[in-house]
């Protein structure tokens, strides 16, 4: 059982155009928590900082400031090899995330060996087949010896999910895991993620720009706009009673899964130019806060 506590995460990118140097704040004082058995949806449009947060959580990028604290139930800090084993990512693009030169079997056997999950070759092979079955890729299809290009996009993403789970993942960061897939197979892959989460009691961060699936597949929604959290709360509260203009805008674009043809929220017209990211509505606290300021100073001033 592993939990993740993200506090006041900031990421600045230095940009250069000719002689001019500028700084771009991609993530601005974001805090969130991932706990076993729960899915948090991180929702926002393209460029809002979602993937940057995912990369920091999986240690592909370093934060400019702020902390990512990963701990076991008994309080032991998870670090080093344990961190690389327990915190896993599923990427947006299943074409780019698998190596075209390696077999499907290799993709899953490698993390099993690296993290010493299996001993003999026979044991590893059996576990690979078992992992493929877990993601609904049946032995009858005989995918293990094949190369990624011989699989469909949906099958490839299932392989990527199996590879993420293979080391013994406790925390899964899924960065727009179905946005590159055919619309007809998206729900199947999301349902699979939901089942695996329940079976393994995973802590999941589901990154998406789609508020409708966020409601369906998550317990909590965190809305990100230009690097800042502008609204957060239980999924139903955020979708049915959006407070921030940006969330209202997203909700207006999201169909209600329970009432086909209807929108999730009818919040009235929103002026896109007037949207700011200075304030955040917290449904848990039932109040507005300043967005983009450190957590401590927020509490001190409260």
Contacted by 148, from ligand ADP, Mg ion, none: CB < 5 to 8 Å by type: none
Contacted by 285, from ligand ADP, Mg ion, none: CB < 5 to 8 Å by type: none
Binding site for ligand ADP (CB under 6 A): 13, 24, 26, 44, 46-52
Whose Cβ is closer to Mg ion: residue 51's or residue 235's?
Answer: 51
How many other β-carbons are positioned within 10 Å of the β-carbon of residue 212? 18
The answer to whether the CB of 68 falls within 8 A of the CB of 57 is: yes
* Least spacing, CB of residue 51 vs Mg ion, in Å: 3
Quote the tokens at residue 38.
């729960």
Contacted by 155, from Mg ion, ligand ADP, none: CB < 5 to 8 Å by type: none
Q: What stretches of the chain adopt beta strand conformation (E)?
A: 2-17, 20-34, 39-43, 65-72, 87-90, 171-175, 203-208, 220-225, 228-234, 279-282, 287-290
**Furthest-apart CA pair in the chain: how many Å?**
62
Binding mask 49-78 for Mg ion (x = CB under 5 A): -xx---------------------------
Contacted by 13, from Mg ion, ligand ADP, none: CB < 5 to 8 Å by type: ligand ADP
How many other β-carbons are positioned within 10 Å of the β-carbon of residue 290? 15
Whose Cβ is closer to ligand ADP: residue 48's or residue 155's?
Answer: 48
Residue numbers 1-60 binding Mg ion by CB under 5 A: 50-51
**DSSP code at position 76:** P
Chain residues that interact with Mg ion, rule: CB under 5 A: 50-51
């Amino acid at each position: 059982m592993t939990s993740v506590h993200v506090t006041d995460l900031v990421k600045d990118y230095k940009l250069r155009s000719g002689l001019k140097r500028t700084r771009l704040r991609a993530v601005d004082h974001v805090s969130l928590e991932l706990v076993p058995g729960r899915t948090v949806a991180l929702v926002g449009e393209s460029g809002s900082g979602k993937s940057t947060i995912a990369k920091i959580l999986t240690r592909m990028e370093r934060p400019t400031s702020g902390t990512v604290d990963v701990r076991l139930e008994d309080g032991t800090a998870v670090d080093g090899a344990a961190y690389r084993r327990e915190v896993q990512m599923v990427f947006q693009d299943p074409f780019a995330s698998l190596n075209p030169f390696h077999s499907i079997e290799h993709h899953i056997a490698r993390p099993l060996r690296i993290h010493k999950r299996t001993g003999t070759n026979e044991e590893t092979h059996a576990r690979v087949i078992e992992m493929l079955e877990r993601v609904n890729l049946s032995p009858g299809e005989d995918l293990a010896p094949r190369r990624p290009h011989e699989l469909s996009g949906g099958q490839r993403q299932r392989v990527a999910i199996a590879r993420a789970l293979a080391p013994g993942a406790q925390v899964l960061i899924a960065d727009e895991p179905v946005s590159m897939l055919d619309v007809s197979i998206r729900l199947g892959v999301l349902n699979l993620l939901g089942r695996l989460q329940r079976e393994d009691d995973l802590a999941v961060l589901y990154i998406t720009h789609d508020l409708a699936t966020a409601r369906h597949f998550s317990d909590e929604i965190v809305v990100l706009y230009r690097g800042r959290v502008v609204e957060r709360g239980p999924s139903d509260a955020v979708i049915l009673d959006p407070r921030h203009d940006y969330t209202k805008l997203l909700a207006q674009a999201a169909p209600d899964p329970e009432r086909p043809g209807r929108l999730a929220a009818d919040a009235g017209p929103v002026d896109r130019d007037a949207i700011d990211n200075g304030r955040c509505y917290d449904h848990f606290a039932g109040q507005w806060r300043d967005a983009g300021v450190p957590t401590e100073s927020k509490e001190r001033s409260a």
